[in-house]
Structure formats: structure tokens, C-alpha cells
Chain A
Amino acid sequence: MPTPEIAWRAIAPELALVGGGILTLLIDAFRPRVRRDVLAGLTLASVGLASWFTFDLHDKREVVMQGSLAVDGVALFAKMILLATCAMAVLISYHYLTRRRIHRGEYYPLILFATAGMTLLAAANDLLLVFLALEVLSLPLYVLAGFARRDDASQESAVKYFLLGAFSSAFLLYGIALMYGATNTTSISGISRIVGAAEPRLVFFAMAMLAIGFCFKVAAVPFHMWTPDVYQGAPTSVTGFMAAGTKAAGFAALLRVFLVSFGPLQWDWRPVLWIVAVLTMVVGSVVAITQTELKRLLAYSSIAHAGYVLVAVVSASNDGTAAALFYLLVYAFMTLGAFAMIIASAPGGHERLSLSDWQGIGQRHPLFAGVMTLFLLSLAGIPPTAGFMGKFFVFSAAVSSGETGLVVVGVLTSAIAAFFYLRVIVAMWLQEPEPGAMPLGPSPALVAGLSIAAVVTIALGVWPQGLIELARNAGIFTG
């Protein structure tokens, strides 16, 4: 067997991230008392380096490492989202971790490794690499979910995530094995060439297994049940990172597998995913109505948003992929923004978690409430925010592919969802504050992160042209 060619340039981003992870891990191991901002700085530097390498690849369209890694528009765009998510996560977690007394050094390598897994997942062109990347990204996340060692909720969320994650990974692996049995290859592009001729029952069984794995990761119904508990229990900065990052990476892989490998079979899987999309949008929107805990509410909101991205997936077109990418980017910023606001809402290790804690904030802290309102309106999809543009592009792609029914469901669930976003806005502005309410707890890094998120949310709402054009050009799979 010939020595495989290592495409250094193509994997440079991952190398930067992993390198940074190893470096921070070693530093933390040998110098446990090192200042946290050194570690944080190194992390951001790794992300910066990885971004540079990613940008360096922007004009490349190829498949490397014996066809297992794709360097194409989708992978690069997704990496962009993931790197931004990582940076934002570091910014918002810095003071938060200190306040909660869980600012251990290993946070940084864990985040970096998870991000590396995510970027690999977005670029994986081979099912085995998909599985590997999925595990690389999941394991640090399981640990991160339980990072607040003395907090029962955090431990519980970690165990739940781990158990259910392992369970669904098993399905995924089984599906990969069956796929190999049916097509004699694990290469995503390879499969697409053979899948039409392979034994259909085997192929579809494998497809279902693969779908289970992906749907679990992106929190589609009925594989979503871990999401509320895990999002609620994990430390808020981790939740934000998880919510934004795993969805972006998971959907990039899902798009690649279903649109490339199963592309020829799209008239078979589209109706099935149609059902999943509808269920996801509906359940996410309806159940959120009775939530009073903010992190849980945002968890269900995440589920609903996953439903909208699924609409773009079902559209199975270039427009659909572009819309999904755009949506995932916008979603990352607004969700991270919302979770960051929760972090900023109180000093010390506490946060304002219950809806009643948010009553009347608008009267005392109008700017704070205003920024939260911006994120909530964007999540609800009200113009002129980025969230609206995201939904618009998704709906456009759906209509273009003839999926008008999904658009009607999407529009109706948006109306339902508006109700619970409105409830938070009402609580903030139109209700009287409780006496003796906590002051706010913003910190410089947090404010920096929030500003970026807020600016992106408005800017893309008013001027999405540049980004959607980029997504359109990127939304093509190579290989």
C-alpha cells in the first residue's frame, strides 16, 4: 500500500486547533497556576491561526487524503461559522467560569478539541471520518457539560448526554457498517455513484441508522429529548457553544451525506425528512410556550430552529444548502448572544434563569433589555433582523423546490414561537421588577462578544447580500 499523501495545507486549520489544544493542555499540566488569560489568549490565537489557514484555502475545491477530506465551499463556510463560535465561546466564558469557580485550565483544550472535531466533521468526505470526527467533538462536550463539578444539574446533564450520545453513535456506526455492506465503500462521493444500484433495503436501512445519528446531534424530533435537560444543566457558556457549534457541524455533515451520497435517492428520503422537519418545528415551538426557565426555553427554541434548517435540507438544492449555511451562521450568533445575555444578567455564580427574574429589567437597565430584545426578535424571525433573513432564505429555497407545504408549517410555527419570545420581552419591559433584584454582571470580554453578536444580528438583517452571495457560491459539494 502506497504511503498516503498528507495534504498539509488542507488540514492546517485542524492542526492549528489541535496544536493549540495540546499546547494549552501541556501548559495547564505543567504549570497549573498559570494565569487563565494566557490560556484564553492562546486559544484565541489558535482560532485565529486556524482562520488564517481556512481563509488561505478559500479558492480551493478539491478532495484530499484519498478522498476522505473535502475542501469545498460548504466545508469552508461551516469552518468559518465554527471558528467564530469557538472564539465567541471563549469570550463569553472567561469571567463566567471564574465567577462560578470552575475556571480550570482544561476548559481551553477541551473547547479546542471539540472545535477541531467539528471542523473535521464539516469537511469529512468519508463515513468513517464522519464517525471519528463526531466522537472527537462529542467526548470533550460530554466533559464540558459536566464541568461544574459540584453542581448536580451539570453532572446529570453530562451523564445524560453521554449515555444518549453513545446510544445514537452506535446506530450511526451500525449504519456505516451496513452502508459498507451495501456499497463496498465508505467514501461519501463513492457511495453516491453506487447507491442507485445497491440493494435497496440495505441502503435504506443504513440511511435510517445514519439519520438517527445525525438527528440526535442536531436535536431533531423525536431524537431531541436530551436537549432541554442538557442545555439547562450545563454551564451556560458551554450550552451556547454546544447549541451553535454542534448544529453547524452536524448539519454540514448531514447535508453532505444526504445530498451527495443519497442524492440520487432524494425522492425517497425527502418525504421522510419532511415529516421530521414538521415535527421538529411544531414540537420545538409548541412545548416552549409553557417553559419558564430561560435556558430550557432557549433549548426548545434551538430545536425549532433545527427544524427550519431541516426545511432547507429537504429542499435538496443549491439554494437550500446556501440557505442552511446562512441560517446556521446567523443562528450561531443569535443563540450565543442570547446565552451570553443570560450570563451577563447577574453577578457572582448566579444567573437570572427563571422568567420571573427578568421582570422589569427594562425599567432599570434599558440597554441590557434592549440587546436581549434584539436577540429574541431575531430568534423569532421579525424583520429587520438577521433571523428573519435566515428564515426568508430557507423559505425561498423550499418554495423553489416545490416544498410550499413546509413553508406554510414554518410560517405558522413562527407565529406560535413568537408568543413565547414575546413573553420574555413582556416580562422585561412591561412588568414591574421584584424588589431587591440582582444587579447585572457584565464583563469586558463578555461585552465584546455581545457587541459582535448584536452587530451581526442587525447588520445581516439589513444587508444580507454579501453573506448570502458567499453562501450561494459556497453551497456546492465537491467530490
Chain B
Amino acid sequence: MKQHLLSWTLWIPLGGAILMAFVPRDRVGLIRGWALLTTVGTLGTSLAVLAYFDKSQAGFQMVEHHQWIRAIGASYHIGVDGISLWLVVLTAFLWPVCVLASWNVTKNPKMFMGLLLALETAVLGVFLSLDLLLFYVFWEGMLVPMYFLIGYWGYERRVYAAVKFFLYTLLGGLLMLAGIVVLGFQAKHALGHISFDYKVISKLALSHDIQRWLFIAFFAAFAVKVPLFPLHTWLPDAHTEAPTAGSIVLAGVLLKLGGFGFLRYSLPLFPHAARAAVPYVVALALIGIVYGAIVCAMQKDLKRLIAYSSISHLGFVVLGIFVFTIQGLQGGTLQMVSHGLSTGALFLLVGFLYERRHTREIADFGGIAAVAPVYAGMFLIVALSSLGLPGLNGFVGEFLVILGAFVRNRTWAVIAATGVILAAVYLLWAYQRVFHGPIDIQENRAVRDLSFREGLAVVPLVAAIVLIGVWPKPFLERMEPSLQRVRARVVVGATAEPAAALRSTKAATQVGGR
């Protein structure tokens, strides 16, 4: 059983979706229950993965390797390491929350739940893949369910947001595809047979030139996903117009794919290019942190505000990754998990508010704390975690990132720190306008506090937020060995050009003929 644990985790959601196709469309209760059961089942297997995870190992664990497309050197190769472990658990953890949040979807709930489950498999696939073609199939495979979730069940500008999301992400992904194909052939030149296997490719010694182009190709896809300034404009629209579950999924998990991509692919595979790119990427990350926060403050739509806050928070992740210090790397990785929980919770809570008042405009609220104190309390905890209050999860990640940046370059750390201050500005100001003050608008008096189902969705998130904030050790220590390994590859990587025999494609083709 342990041997196939990852495959179970990966395929249960899709299996659930396929089986759900046989449920009649009107048995809504059955549909919801089945979706919940499936997602909780996946959570269970992911926790088993967590339990079996050996925290002293830096390499991949619970690896499964089967034939897939032998002709092209692509195989079904999955595994988990310190970097992907918590992302997988985060995914499995957030999905039941999404199902609970979408309990009241009336328009074709069967299709909604089906797509949501299919999306879970695609996302888990990206985290677990150890074969580049498999990775790509899951990466692009994510697009279609997400596109429909936004476009069909979203709000007013949903079609525009969905198309924008799709094309933006697709373009980045397609450029990465070109990179993947080239990478597969680099393997052929070095080893004689084409391969897309991660382990094989990570042993290649690529010339600096090729590294640079490949880094750019992969960067296109990851930068859009993070999102890194200035490729971020798809995010506010997508997040705002998506239904609640869509926003939670987008913010909670999909945005992590960019950072994950950098850690898993860009840094270890193209170390020289990554080193060269540091000034530019850090600049973009810092701009994202500050810019995201400033623009955030002026937003009038609550969801849009949270969306821009994501841009700012994820700037921290990228900064942490690209300073190449172990604190930065750990901070960045932990921040991915923290952000997923905090921002996911924020979107969840805003979704509850929308269900009651059918508006997202901050101006339409005021004084909610008086009528819904439990809700206001939960919101406060989550907001404080998002701005990085010590004792909650956001602080650990952000602090480590700033510390890691400080070691490398003090100015960077200072700029990043202002992001924390700005976060306080926009979050507290928004909180004040929504929850405090007198109740000017009559409808706000009728806002109900959290129901049992809603509480069931929120409380685990808040608990996790507090847990990571107070006791980050188990999280950090499992990440460390794998991150140390990434660091070793990119910091102490070979600086000399590898031997000519392993170099460019062109030379080999022209000499070898067809």
C-alpha cells in the first residue's frame, strides 16, 4: 500500500469525478456528499504520505516509476520530496473546504463538482510529477477545468476573466513546452537516448547558452503563474470573477505552481542561468511586493483587494527563492503554504459575506462585527495572519524571507519589509471599513453569523494558521533537506562551461546528418 500511496492520492479525485458521471443530475445531496467523501479520502491518503515521509531524506520518496511512452522517453514517474510534500498536503486540505464552500451551487452542481475534482488531480499531478512530459500534461490539463469554473459559475465579467486566464497561462505554458522538448533532446545528445525523466535531466551538464534559453522558456510559464509583475494582470480579474471555490483554489494552490516551478525546475536544472537572473527576478519580486500592496489599498472590491494582496505576498516567495540562502528558501516555501491557508481562508470568508449580501463592494459594508461577531473574529485572525503578525503563520514565512534577503543584500530586505507595513495598511483599513464603525446600511443588520457548515470549513483553516504560526518546526524541518539540496545545486553549481562534447544541438545535428 505504501508503495502506491502517491498514485492513490493522485487519482482518487479524478476517479471520483468519473464515477460521479453516473449519478443522476438531480440527486444534488448525493453529488455533494460524494464530492466531499472523495476529497476527504484524498486528504486521508495525503496525511498518510505525510506520516510516512522521512524527514531526514533530501531526495524523492514513495517513488513510482512505470512505462508510459517508451518511444519518446516519457514515463509515469512520480515522487514526493520536502518541497512538494506540504504543497500536496495543502492541496488535499483545501479541497474539502472548497466542496463545503460550494455547497449551495445551484447551476449544474454535478458538473461543478466533477470539474473541481478533475482539477485536484491535475494540480496534484503537477506537484508529484518526476517526468517532464507528465508534468506538462498536468500543467496544461489544469487550464480547462479552471477555465470552466471561472467562466461558467463566475460573476459579471466571468467570460473576460476566464478567457484572459486561459490565454495568458497557455502562452506561458506553450513557451515552456518548447523548452521541455529541447531539454529532452539535450538528454539524447548527452546520453544517446531521448528522455524526459527528471532524474536523468537533472544530471545533464547543460551549456550556459542553452541554460539561458531554457530558463527563459520555463520562466515564461512560472512567472505568469506566480504571478510576477508585470505579468500579473490576469490575477485580479480571475480571482474576482471566480466563484468562491474557484478563488480558493486559485489563490490557495494554483498560484503556488509558479514558486514550485522555480524550486523544482528553474533552480536545479539551470543553475547558471538562475544565478544570472537574480538581479532581474529580485527586482520584479520587490516591485511586486510593494506595487501589489499599494494598488491593493485603493481597491473598492473586497475580492479584488485580496487578489492584489496575493501578488504582494507571492513577491515574498519569489524573493525568498532567489536569494539562494537557506532561510530565504525555507521562508519562501513555507510562505507558499501559509499564503495558501491565509488567502484561501480570506476568499472563503468573503464568499460567505457575498452569499449573504450579494455585493463585494467595501462601501456597502460597515459594522458587520456587531451582528456577526464570530465571523468577524475569524476574519480578524486570518487578516492578521496575512499581514504577518507574529504567532500566526504569515509571520514565520515573511520573517525568514526577510532574514534570508538581509544576509544577501540589506536593501532588498528593507524594501521587502515595507511590504509588511503596507500589508498592515491595506488589511487593517479594509477590516475597519467592513467590520467596525456604525451600521449605516440597513441590509447589514440582517447579516447572519457563521452556520455550522461554514464553521466546519473555516475552523480547520484557522487552526492550521495558528499551528504553523506557533509551531513551524515540523513544517520547516521536513522542507530543509530538499531545499538544502536545491541550494547546493544553485550556489555551488559548476561555474565552468561543460565539455564541448556535451554542448550545442546544432553541432551534433550537422555532424551526425539527418
A and B touch in the complex (CB under 8 A): yes
* Cross-chain contact of B140 among A382, A393, A468 (Cβ < 8 A): A382
Q: Secondary structure at chain A's binding surface: helix, strand, loop or mixed? A: helix
With a CB–CB cut-off of 8 A, which chain A residues contact B185? 396, 399-400
Q: Cα distance A411–B177 when bound, in Å?
A: 8
Is B340 located at the chain interface by the 8 A CB criterion? no
Query: A395-B181, A430-B151 given as contacts; is B175 within 8 A of A402 (CB)?
Result: no
Contact A415 B171 (CB under 8 A): yes
Contact A317 B144 (CB under 8 A): no
Contact B69 A411 (CB under 8 A): no
Contact A401 B509 (CB under 8 A): yes
With a CB–CB cut-off of 8 A, which chain B residues contact A151? none
Q: Cα distance A404–B509 when bound, in Å?
A: 12
With a CB–CB cut-off of 8 A, which chain A residues contact B470? none
Proximity bits, B62-97, A CB within 8 Å = 1, else 0: 000001111110000000000000000000000000
Is A469 located at the chain interface by the 8 A CB criterion? yes
Is A366 located at the chain interface by the 8 A CB criterion? yes
Is B307 located at the chain interface by the 8 A CB criterion? no
With a CB–CB cut-off of 8 A, which chain A residues contact B71? 465, 468-469, 472
Contact A404 B174 (CB under 8 A): no
Name A373's closest neighbour in chain B (CB-CB). B144
Q: Cα distance A463–B505 when bound, in Å?
A: 29
| Distance (whole angstroms) from the CB of A267 to the closest CB of chain B | 9
Q: Cα distance A465–B137 when bound, in Å?
A: 15
Q: Cα distance A396–B152 when bound, in Å?
A: 36
Contact B151 A402 (CB under 8 A): no
With a CB–CB cut-off of 8 A, which chain B residues contact A408? 178
Is B8 located at the chain interface by the 8 A CB criterion? no
With a CB–CB cut-off of 8 A, which chain A residues contact B178? 395, 404, 407-408, 411
| Distance (whole angstroms) from the CB of A205 to the closest CB of chain B | 25
With a CB–CB cut-off of 8 A, which chain A residues contact B194? 396, 400
Name B111's closest neighbour in chain A (CB-CB). A366
With a CB–CB cut-off of 8 A, which chain A residues contact B67? 465
Q: Cα distance A400–B136 when bound, in Å?
A: 19
Q: Cα distance A315–B144 when bound, in Å?
A: 31
CB interface residues, A 360-407, toward B, < 8 Å:
366, 377, 382-384, 388, 392-393, 395-396, 399-402, 404, 407
Contact B174 A411 (CB under 8 A): yes
Name B174's closest neighbour in chain A (CB-CB). A411
Q: Cα distance A395–B179 when bound, in Å?
A: 11
Contact A392 B181 (CB under 8 A): yes
Query: A404-B178, A468-B71 given as contacts; is B136 within 8 A of A383 (CB)?
Result: yes
Contact B148 A402 (CB under 8 A): no
Query: A415-B174, A418-B167 given as contacts; is B70 within 8 A of A469 (CB)?
Result: yes
Please report the total number of A residues contacting B with Cβ < 8 Å: 38
Among B133, B140, B143, B174: residue with most chain A CB under 10 A: B174
Is B389 located at the chain interface by the 8 A CB criterion? no
* Cross-chain contact of A404 among B151, B163, B182 (Cβ < 8 A): B182
Q: Cα distance A169–B514 when bound, in Å?
A: 31
Q: Cα distance A407–B158 when bound, in Å?
A: 33
| Distance (whole angstroms) from the CB of A235 to the closest CB of chain B | 32
Contact B505 A430 (CB under 8 A): no
With a CB–CB cut-off of 8 A, which chain A residues contact B151? 426, 429-430
Contact B181 A317 (CB under 8 A): no
* Cross-chain contact of B69 among A316, A366, A465 (Cβ < 8 A): A465
Contact B137 A383 (CB under 8 A): yes
With a CB–CB cut-off of 8 A, which chain B residues contact A429? 148, 151-152
| Distance (whole angstroms) from the CB of A345 to the closest CB of chain B | 21
CB interface residues, B 140-181, toward A, < 8 Å:
140-141, 143-144, 148, 151-152, 158-159, 162-163, 166-167, 170-171, 174-175, 177-178, 181
CB interface residues, B 417-451, toward A, < 8 Å:
none
What total of A-B pairs shows CB separation below 8 Å?
A: 99
Is A422 located at the chain interface by the 8 A CB criterion? yes
Is A171 located at the chain interface by the 8 A CB criterion? no
Q: Cα distance A430–B165 when bound, in Å?
A: 15
Contact B140 A400 (CB under 8 A): no
With a CB–CB cut-off of 8 A, which chain A residues contact B509? 400-402
Is A302 located at the chain interface by the 8 A CB criterion? no
Is B510 located at the chain interface by the 8 A CB criterion? yes
| Distance (whole angstroms) from the CB of B467 to the closest CB of chain A | 37
Is A272 located at the chain interface by the 8 A CB criterion? no
| Distance (whole angstroms) from the CB of A402 to the closest CB of chain B | 4
With a CB–CB cut-off of 8 A, which chain A residues contact B70? 465, 469
* Cross-chain contact of A384 among B137, B505, B510 (Cβ < 8 A): B137
Query: A317-B514, A382-B140, A399-B182 given as contacts; is B175 within 8 A of A411 (CB)?
Result: yes
Contact A393 B174 (CB under 8 A): no
Contact B141 A383 (CB under 8 A): yes
With a CB–CB cut-off of 8 A, which chain A residues contact B358? none
Q: Cα distance A269–B144 when bound, in Å?
A: 40
Contact B170 A418 (CB under 8 A): yes
Q: Cα distance A180–B194 when bound, in Å?
A: 41
Name A362's closest neighbour in chain B (CB-CB). B152
Is B188 located at the chain interface by the 8 A CB criterion? yes
Proximity bits, B237-269, A CB within 8 Å = 1, else 0: 000000000000000000000000000000000
* Cross-chain contact of B174 among A377, A384, A414 (Cβ < 8 A): A414
Q: Cα distance A316–B178 when bound, in Å?
A: 19
Is A131 located at the chain interface by the 8 A CB criterion? no
With a CB–CB cut-off of 8 A, which chain A residues contact B143? 382
With a CB–CB cut-off of 8 A, which chain A residues contact B331? none
With a CB–CB cut-off of 8 A, which chain B residues contact A393? 72
Is A181 located at the chain interface by the 8 A CB criterion? no
CB interface residues, B 110-125, toward A, < 8 Å:
111
With a CB–CB cut-off of 8 A, which chain B residues contact A53? none
With a CB–CB cut-off of 8 A, which chain A residues contact B505? 399, 402, 404
Is A419 located at the chain interface by the 8 A CB criterion? yes
Q: Cα distance A395–B184 when bound, in Å?
A: 11
* Cross-chain contact of B141 among A384, A463, A472 (Cβ < 8 A): A384
Is A464 located at the chain interface by the 8 A CB criterion? yes
With a CB–CB cut-off of 8 A, which chain A residues contact B166? 418, 422
Is B506 located at the chain interface by the 8 A CB criterion? yes
Contact B181 A422 (CB under 8 A): no
Contact B140 A383 (CB under 8 A): yes
With a CB–CB cut-off of 8 A, which chain A residues contact B159? 426, 430-431
Proximity bits, A410-439, B CB within 8 Å = 1, else 0: 011011001100100010011100000000
Q: Cα distance A70–B158 when bound, in Å?
A: 56
With a CB–CB cut-off of 8 A, which chain B residues contact A415? 167, 170-171, 174
Q: Cα distance A336–B336 when bound, in Å?
A: 45
Q: Cα distance A384–B141 when bound, in Å?
A: 6
Q: Cα distance A317–B71 when bound, in Å?
A: 15
Contact B181 A407 (CB under 8 A): yes
With a CB–CB cut-off of 8 A, which chain B residues contact A366? 108, 111
With a CB–CB cut-off of 8 A, which chain A residues contact B152? 429-430
Q: Cα distance A167–B177 when bound, in Å?
A: 40
With a CB–CB cut-off of 8 A, which chain B residues contact A463? 68
Name A413's closest neighbour in chain B (CB-CB). B174
| Distance (whole angstroms) from the CB of A136 to the closest CB of chain B | 32
With a CB–CB cut-off of 8 A, which chain A residues contact B174? 411-412, 414-415
With a CB–CB cut-off of 8 A, which chain B residues contact A318? 514
Contact A392 B133 (CB under 8 A): yes
With a CB–CB cut-off of 8 A, which chain B residues contact A316? 514
With a CB–CB cut-off of 8 A, which chain A residues contact B141? 382-384
| Distance (whole angstroms) from the CB of B254 to the closest CB of chain A | 17
Name A315's closest neighbour in chain B (CB-CB). B514
Which residues of B does A touch, CB under 8 Å?
67-72, 108, 111, 133, 136-138, 140-141, 143-144, 148, 151-152, 158-159, 162-163, 166-167, 170-171, 174-175, 177-178, 181-182, 184-185, 188, 194, 505-506, 509-510, 514
11 A-B pairs in the complex with CB atoms less than 8 angstroms apart: A266-B514, A382-B143, A383-B136, A402-B505, A422-B163, A429-B152, A430-B158, A430-B162, A463-B68, A464-B69, A465-B68
Given contacts A419-B167, A468-B71, 16 further A-B contacts (CB under 8 A): A317-B514, A382-B140, A392-B177, A396-B72, A396-B185, A396-B194, A399-B181, A399-B182, A399-B185, A402-B510, A404-B505, A422-B163, A426-B163, A465-B71, A468-B72, A469-B71
